[in-house]
Amino acid sequence: MNMLDAMETRRSTRSFDGSRLTGAEAAAIEAVLRGAANEPAPFGRPVRLALYVGEPDAKPVRLGTYGLVSGASAYIVSAVAPVPGSMEDAGYVLEKAVLDLTAQGWATCWIGGVFSRGKAAQIAATAPGELVPAVIAVGRPAGRRSVADRIVTGSAKRRTRQSLDQIVFSADGERPIDGERPAGAWAEALQALRGAPSASNKQPWRLVSFGSGPSWLIFMDEDRLYNHSLGEVRLQNLDIGIGMRHFAEAARCLGLPGRWEPLPARRAELSSALAFGEARGWTPIALWRR
């Protein structure tokens, strides 16, 4: 399965079959985590990943998700320092692990809200000041979904997505994804981003294209109260990193040029795109260019 297929296939799964990982399965997942953590992320922040497979003989593997997630075989725990760009990089790195695991046949769910942050911090052996932004439940789907799962998944339009023209714009006011315009070739990468998971499915990504190439600025359309409800952990900044990962993987599969980088100090060439987003109250995060 290539990354485009993995992005298409991935769904949040909250009811797993409760099986324990074999040694070989745990080793394969550890290898995925090492691969994801060792690849440089756009802001160059180290993201540590640890695999929690539960206590010996204790079933099932629990991480304080209070019945929302049942029967997971393992959890991936992430840890980062609270510095600019670390939430985006954590999203970017963890989503690589999610997609690689999806390609290997695993089901997953991002958990950023309710889990035991204390226990997760112990598992990741966090240094003072380090944060656990989110964890990922991993396992095989259960035959039947739990009641809690059906309630959560049924509520808040969990799987629907905004249309592309609600998240993609052009600094010159043209529609960037119409027909034969250069950006038309980017429609598939934009669709991959649109399908990314996000906290409470809020989909805060906004992309503005500019210049030839084209280049893209990614902004966060922040729900301020929501994004500041967990102290230094910012779920919507994680979302932006996740969306950046989907876009980058799709671009790579499709042979489209460029990469994500932090916003440059000299911003003259970005001024029209920046003005477009800032007029709408969005926060600029990163730049995609050749």
Q: Which residues bind ligand FMN (CB under 6 A)?
A: 11-12, 14, 68, 109-114, 134, 152, 158-159, 197-201, 235, 238-239, 242
Taking the least distance from each CB to ligand FMN, the nearer of 47 and 68 is 68
Please check whether residue 287 is in contact with residue 258, taking contact to mean a CB–CB distance below 8 angstroms: no
CA distance 113 to 36: 23
**How far separated are the first and last CA of the chain, in Å rounded?**
27
Taking the least distance from each CB to ligand FMN, the nearer of 14 and 62 is 14
Taking the least distance from each CB to ligand FMN, the nearer of 78 and 215 is 78
Task: Work out the angle at residue 94's Cα, subtended by the Cα atoms of residues 43 and 189, and round it to the nearest 5 degrees.
Answer: 75
- Least distance from ligand FMN to the Cβ atom of residue 157, Å: 8
Please check whether residue 36 is in contact with residue 95, taking contact to mean a CB–CB distance below 8 angstroms: no
- Least distance from ligand FMN to the Cβ atom of residue 6, Å: 13
CA distance 49 to 41: 14
Beta bridge partners of 207: 168, 218
Which residues does 106 contact at the CB level (< 8 Å), separation at least 6? 29, 138, 139, 140
Distance of CA 197 to the CA centre of its chain: 6
- Least distance from ligand FMN to the Cβ atom of residue 159, Å: 5
- Least distance from ligand FMN to the Cβ atom of residue 111, Å: 4
- Least distance from ligand FMN to the Cβ atom of residue 287, Å: 22
Taking the least distance from each CB to ligand FMN, the nearer of 158 and 228 is 158
Taking the least distance from each CB to ligand FMN, the nearer of 150 and 267 is 150
